């Protein structure tokens, strides 16, 4: 009985990652119709509507500091999505996610404050350098800058998500932050896409992307975190570049060279190594009676 009880949370985390990257692939299909910023607006607006309907967040009883926190969370969410989709417009999906995942990785290294953790950062950096060599006249410099910016925003997303979670119950924080993000993205999407953004095809695909990239992954992650240790969850999330590369290959026809595949593997290994190292250090500190 213990086996299935352990495996199903792992399964839904992976299923959520698959949905997220399939959603990103569908978003790329929409780029010729509404552009990257138009796609961001569609995703955030639909995601906000779904979360508001499902969560029905309470609006009273919060301090000014609480509202500033959730507003900052929303601003980071909007920035992260806009940078990510602008990167996707210039780079393959697997490459974009690989570069983006460096943000949380570097954050974990900095927070740990241990010299050994920097070895994992060096390994990840080696993977990115290798990625830039793998067939990659391929790599658009502006796209790389957007992906790196999305990674930095992802690190900010992690910090502000944690703060919002402490200040707002259940999923109220993410629902309100998503609403802020949708409002902030709206002018960019409308200016970029114009009337194309309200075409039935764009609206249907935008809804599909919102459900696949936001609604399902958030629900699955919430369920999984009730059963899985945070370290195990983080290791599973480190698989995102590989799943993104596979989605890019199957749905978008974005084949990888063996050098690019090796580069992605190095970044995944660095992410897993950093998580395991941090978890091991935490257990040792706890055993020593220092926490």
Q: Average pLDDT, whole number, for the chain?
A: 83
Confidence (pLDDT) at 2: 47
Residue 137 in this model has a pLDDT that exceeds 60? no
pLDDT digits (tens, 9 = 90+) for 115-127: 666 777 778 778 8
Residue 287 in this model has a pLDDT that exceeds 70? no
Confidence (pLDDT) at 147: 92
Confidence (pLDDT) at 116: 66
Sign of CA dihedral 84, 211, 206, 180: negative
Q: Is 219 exposed, middle or buried (0-12, 13-18, 19+ CB in 10 A)?
A: middle
Residue 192 in this model has a pLDDT that exceeds 70? yes
Domain containing 262 equals 2-287
Least Cα distance to 137 among 88, 179, 95 occurs for 95
> Per the structure, how many domains does the chain have?
1
3-state secondary structure of 288: coil
Asked if 238 and 272 count as a contact pair (C-beta separation under 8 A), the reply is: yes
Query: CA–CA distance from 210 to each of 94, 205, 224 (Å)?
Result: 20, 9, 20
Measure the CA–CA gap between 136 and 88, rounded to whole angstroms: 15
Measure the CA–CA gap between 43 and 15, rounded to whole angstroms: 19
C-alpha torsion 212→204→37→86, nearest 10 = 50
pLDDT digits (tens, 9 = 90+) for 40-67: 999 999 999 999 998 899 888 889 999 9
Query: HSE-up of 192 (CA within 13 Å, CB side)?
Result: 19
Residue 283 in this model has a pLDDT that exceeds 90? no
């Amino acid at each position: 009985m213990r086996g299935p009880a352990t495996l199903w949370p792992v399964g839904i985390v992976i299923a959520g990652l698959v949905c997220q990257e399939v959603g990103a692939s569908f978003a790329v299909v929409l780029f010729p119709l509404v552009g990257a910023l138009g796609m961001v607006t569609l995703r955030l607006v639909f995601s906000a509507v779904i979360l508001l309907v499902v969560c029905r967040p309470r609006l009273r009883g919060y301090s000014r500091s609480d509202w500033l926190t959730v507003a900052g969370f929303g601003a980071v969410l909007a920035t992260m999505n806009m940078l990510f989709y602008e990167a996707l417009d210039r780079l393959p999906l697997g490459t974009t996610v690989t570069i983006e995942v460096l943000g949380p990785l570097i954050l974990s290294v900095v927070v740990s404050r241990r010299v050994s953790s920097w070895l994992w950062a060096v390994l990840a950096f080696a993977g990115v350098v290798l990625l830039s060599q793998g067939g990659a006249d391929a790599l658009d410099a502006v796209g790389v800058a957007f992906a790196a910016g999305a990674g930095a925003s992802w690190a900010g997303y992690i910090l502000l998500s944690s703060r919002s979670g402490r200040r707002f119950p259940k999923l109220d924080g993410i629902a309100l932050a998503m609403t802020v993000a949708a409002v902030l993205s709206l002018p960019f999407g409308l200016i970029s896409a114009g009337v194309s953004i309200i075409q039935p095809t764009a609206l249907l695909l935008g809804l599909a992307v919102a459900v696949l990239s936001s609604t399902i992954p958030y629900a699955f992650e919430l369920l999984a975190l009730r059963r899985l240790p945070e370290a195990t969850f983080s290791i599973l999330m480190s698989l995102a570049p590989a799943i993104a590369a596979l989605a890019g290959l199957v749905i978008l026809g974005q084949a990888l060279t063996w050098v690019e595949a090796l580069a992605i593997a190095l970044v995944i290994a660095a992410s897993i190594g950093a998580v395991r190292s941090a978890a091991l250090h935490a257990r040792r500190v706890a055993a020593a009676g220092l926490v």
